[in-house]
Structure 1
Amino acid sequence: DVEPNEQQLKDLQGFMETEQQKAVIQAAINKLTETCFDKCVTKPGAKLDSSEASCISNCAGRYLDSSLRVRGILAHSSRAQLSPVRLLLM
């Protein structure tokens, strides 16, 4: 058996981290798509009408803003050792 060297282990770790980040991004895109489509498209057809397109655009913007806000709160809470709920109440 050949043991991997330190560089190979670092390369593998980097690859795994990249793949994990891709999976997280893909899951977020899937959730955003599902959430906004379900909210905005009442009668699926060949094309989105202008109100559906506008709704999806607004929904996606709000979803991304909310996600960034929550991530910021969670990052801050982990640094400050405070619960996210407590931070929201501040």
Structure 2
Amino acid sequence: MSGLEQEIKSRQAELTKQFNAGNAAGAAALYNQDCTMIPAGGNQIKGRAGIEALYKQAMVGGATTQGVTEEVNGSGDWAFERGTYQTHAESG
């Protein structure tokens, strides 16, 4: 496993920990300020503040998440992760 892949998987584990603890700010802090996320549905979320807002909304009702990293690539000062995630609401 490359150093980049190890770093991203480590951040994925921390993201899961922060999200499942209900800490939207802590989860969003793992992203760069100028990041882009394309969640299910295909609408781009730009920036850390946008991701924090998305996570806050998803956390309503005690939701939890689990992510799976499927691909990591990068060079120099950029990287991306492609993966899947499942979010489960406490209410079912």
Ranked by relative contact order (alpha carbons within 8 Å, sequence separation 6 or more), the top structure is 2
TM-score normalised to structure 1 length? 0.29
Larger Rg: 1
Which is richer in strand? 2
TM-score normalised to structure 2 length? 0.28
